[in-house]
Amino acid sequence: MGLAMPDKTIRDRWQRLQGMSRQEILSRSKLELAKRTDELLSRVGYDFSGHVGVREGQVRAPRFFFAQEEIPSVISTLTARLPQEVEQIVVRANRICKHRFDLLGFDNLDSGTQIDWHLDPIHKKRTPRAIFYKIPFLDFDQCGDVKIPWELNRHQHFVTLAKAYQITGDEKFAAEIFAQWKHWHLENPYPIGLNWASSLEVAFRSLSWFWTYHLTAQSKSKPEGFEDEFLRAQALQGRHIERYLSTYFSPNTHLLGEAVALFFFGTLLPTLKDAERWRTMGWQMVLQEATNQVRADGMHFEQSTYYHVYALDFLLHATVLASVNDVLIPPELEKTIQKMLDVLALLEQTGNMPRFGDDDGGRVFDGRRNRPEHLLDPLATGAVLFGRGDFKARAGGLREETVWLLGTQGVAEFDRLESNAADRKSVALSSSGLHIMEAVNARLVIDAGPHGSGSGGHGHADALSFSLRDEQGPLLIDPGTLEYVGPGKDRNQYRGTAAHNTVVVDDKDQADATGPFSWSSLPFAKAENWMGGENFDFFVGSHDGYRRLENPVVHRRYVFGLKSEFFLVRDVLEGEGKHRADVFFHFASELRPADKRSESFLDARRERGILALTVRGHGWAQDVRQGSWSPVYGKAERATVLHFGARTTFPTEFVTLLVPVVRARINIGELTVTPEASTKSSVRGYRYTNSQREHYAYFAVRQPWSAGSWTTDAEFLYWGTNAQESDRLLIFCNGSYVEMNGKRMVSCTKSIARCELRMSEDGVKLSSSDNDAVKVEQSLSGTSPREADSASVPDLQGKTK
């Protein structure tokens, strides 16, 4: 009888082991030994918090972000400058005294007379009281959504109570802190329970305790012996974090947050025997992770705008604490933080942020600052730290966090800064693949970057997706996250390809979900062409996520943005055979279809919205369906989804014109999109007309080609003119000449990336990537495409031009 083959679990573990370095194997082995040692010690009644070593002799005097004597001036500044936020702190604190909590996207959760620190109150599931490493916290059936109790056990609500105590002078808020402190320790003996299962959560809790300690230092409600309790409790948390670092488990914001906590322990608790080691170790880890986790363009490597801000918060808090305690801050760290702030400033519009990837729902300073409009908070602090008036302008005003971190002196410096927002410009963040297209009244952000770090745990299957916003807010949106674990399949639905503004092939995601925080067969996305001009932006990108199909497919997306008017999106699906193709556009929750043709999506007052126009007769099914999105973790709202789909022979393409509209411009009946017939299959032409202008756009492979009135070797050509032909615009990319009606309009001594010719009554204005190589012909007056070319082209919106 032969030996049985190992099952899949054993094979998977063996393959993982083979992929580990010697250092990783050694580290994981030590970790497993430490877990079992702590379990054994707990069984014999070992007092983990009773063996706190204290250093003898003189130690340095640490400084928190503020001194005790500075608190009244901070409170006075907050009351004068941010009165509504001060009022809300007290309102929230009063609810907390009644054990009603705002957690993630859930408001006013009632925890009853005795707080259950292990309960998911939404799904009514309680985690088992087991040794921490045996708790299956990602198993929803056993534990529910652990992020909800974890958010409570971060004790950031302690800080809210402590601030309310300072604002009002009412001891009831401090008394509530100390009552909950005592109860929590009774219910969470080390190392038992959910609240020791994640070192990052321990780190968050320790940071909250530091803030609470310094805000309640002079409270009369503080129990006798609390100083010693606090020291021992923090020492125990420091021991746990150091012992169970997320070096290989989650070497991302988990490891960064743990490093920051160790630095806080070592800096603020110098009497502990481990303080100097924690201080040095934590700071070195902060510096290392700032290098490891931030891409060259300043974007966090999780490929999530929320996690980008999350990591930036950690770095700012650590850096400010280092500064006030005379720790040397390397120039490289300052540069990294500035680059991360630059990314925020570039992505900001109208006091809001576009989102990509997971939304964690938590924040370092205040867990309630978790909506998209709150993600710009770091810019206010960054404005002061780096003397950047553009950061001040993008922040839109002072933040409470800035006042606490930098004090009244920081506020004075913020006020002295001149608010000088840089001109908005189109830009590509090459390492992260984010491409920002600026228009007169809108901004489109395309994601053509990596799926995320490692197995892409916090990235979404959203290659070549984009978001679109106007000056008042979002138009086309990212779905958010909703939850990490749950009773259904919402996790995969929200991070799946169909939830994003991109193309799905054969009903499959661009990658295969292998768990709530992992993917396999990660797509490789890249930008193949990008150029920003004076009047336009042009992007070409592709991804290979569908090469894994039996008949491989490559999705290539072209986006032409005419800055004064629209975005033309051309999706090309390259492959062979029959496939299912679906294109999705997800609209902001306040937008609804304005007509039966489902071309315009407007807000309730018809003041703003977007036109989504396609070529009539395209042959694809079209429908508007009810979808959903998550504005913050745990909360879902309805959203309108425009869908086009077909089972068709590849290669194929689909074109959509997106026109942001404001009240003065909404005139649905005058907007059309028609294809321009081409003489070669390698050239595709489209025409868009409205009551004011006529536009032509041609896409071609790089070779001389002719279509209608045009002859050129450019890869892309655009022509636009108003009804009177008094304002005409010619654009071409990657070409050397253009002819219209057999007449040469422009010649170049070599192929150039970009050329723009605007012809008006004032003459011809040239803008190009190499003006010296361009020769503009003198006989341009009166040039226009032959009238016969457009007169006979059927208007596929149902009319004849």
Token reading at 663: 């009240």
* Confidence band for 690, pLDDT divided at 50, 70 and 90: confident
Compute the distance between CA of residue 562 and CA of residue 648 in angstroms, rounded to an integer: 30
pLDDT of residue 797: 37
Alpha-carbon separation of residue 418 from 21, 114, 127, 387 (angstroms): 52, 51, 52, 9
CA 299-203-336 angle, 5° bins: 25
Asked if 203 and 258 count as a contact pair (C-beta separation under 8 A), the reply is yes
pLDDT of residue 615: 87
List CB contacts of 16: < 8 A, sequence separation 6 or more.
none
Residue 581, Cβ density class (10 Å: 0-12 exposed, 13-18 middle, ≥19 buried)? buried
Which carries the bigger pLDDT value, residue 360 or residue 337?
337
Please report how many Cα atoms fall inside a 13 Å half-sphere around the Cα of residue 373, on the Cβ side: 7
Place of tokens 């708790």: 135
List CB contacts of 134: < 8 A, sequence separation 6 or more.
none
> Using CA atoms in the order 327, 332, 333, 338, what is the torsion angle rounded to 10 degrees?
130
pLDDT of residue 19: 64
pLDDT of residue 799: 30
* Confidence band for 391, pLDDT divided at 50, 70 and 90: very high
Residue 329 reports pLDDT greater than 70 = yes
Phi, psi (degrees; rounded to nearest 5) at 319 = -70, -40
DSSP assignment string, 70-115 = GHHHHHHHHHHH-HHHHHHHHHHHHHHHTTEEEETTEEEEE--SS-
- Across the chain, what does the average pLDDT equal? 90
What are the respective helix, strand and coil percentages of the chain, to the nearest 5? 35, 30, 35
* Confidence band for 588, pLDDT divided at 50, 70 and 90: very high
pLDDT of residue 782: 54
Compute the distance between CA of residue 482 and CA of residue 492 in angstroms, rounded to an integer: 10
pLDDT of residue 261: 98
Residue at 706: amino acid letter: S
Which carries the bigger pLDDT value, residue 341 or residue 249?
341
pLDDT of residue 22: 78
pLDDT tens by residue, 4-14: 444 555 565 55
Q: Mean pLDDT, to the nearest integer, of 25-42?
A: 89
Q: Which domains does the chain have, with CATH numbers?
A: 83-244 (1.50.10.100), 246-422 (1.50.10.100), 430-665 (2.70.98.70), 671-801 (no CATH)
pLDDT of residue 131: 96
pLDDT of residue 262: 98
Q: How many CB atoms lie within 10 A of CB 515?
A: 11
β-sheet with 442-447: strand ranges across: 427-429, 434-438, 442-447, 466-470, 473-476
Strand, coil or helix: 121: coil
Compute the distance between CA of residue 470 and CA of residue 587 in angstroms, rounded to an integer: 12
pTM: 0.93
pLDDT of residue 785: 65
HEC string of 604-658? CCCCEEEEEEECCCCCCEEEEEEEEEEEECCEEEEEEEEEEEEEEEEEEEEEEEE
Compute the distance between CA of residue 5 and CA of residue 639 in angstroms, rounded to an integer: 50
Residue 455, Cβ density class (10 Å: 0-12 exposed, 13-18 middle, ≥19 buried)? middle
pLDDT tens by residue, 187-240: 999 999 999 999 999 999 999 999 999 999 999 999 999 999 999 999 999 999
pLDDT of residue 489: 83
The number of residues in the chain equals: 801
Place of tokens 């919205």: 609
User: Among the ranges 454-458, 521-525, 781-785, which has the highest mean pLDDT value?
Assistant: 521-525
* Confidence band for 3, pLDDT divided at 50, 70 and 90: very low
* Confidence band for 610, pLDDT divided at 50, 70 and 90: very high
Q: Mean pLDDT, to the nearest integer, of 401-408?
A: 98
Q: Which of 412, 391, 390, 393 is nearest to 403 (CA)?
A: 412
> No. of H helices and E strands in the chain?
19, 33
pLDDT tens by residue, 451-505: 988 889 999 999 999 999 998 889 999 999 999 999 888 899 999 999 999 999 9
Q: Computed over its alpha carbons, how large is the radius of gyration of the chain?
A: 30
Place of tokens 């009554």: 761
* Confidence band for 692, pLDDT divided at 50, 70 and 90: confident
Handedness of CA 12, 14, 15, 17 (dihedral sign): positive
Q: Mean pLDDT, to the nearest integer, of 259-279?
A: 97
Least confident segment among 256-260, 563-567, 782-786 = 782-786
Residue 653 reports pLDDT greater than 90 = yes
pLDDT tens by residue, 330-356: 999 999 999 999 999 999 876 678 889
Residue 195, Cβ density class (10 Å: 0-12 exposed, 13-18 middle, ≥19 buried)? buried
Token reading at 287: 């510096």
pLDDT of residue 580: 98
Residue 702 reports pLDDT greater than 90 = no
Compute the distance between CA of residue 313 and CA of residue 337 in angstroms, rounded to an integer: 10
pLDDT of residue 49: 82
Asked if 302 and 455 count as a contact pair (C-beta separation under 8 A), the reply is no
Residue 788 reports pLDDT greater than 80 = no
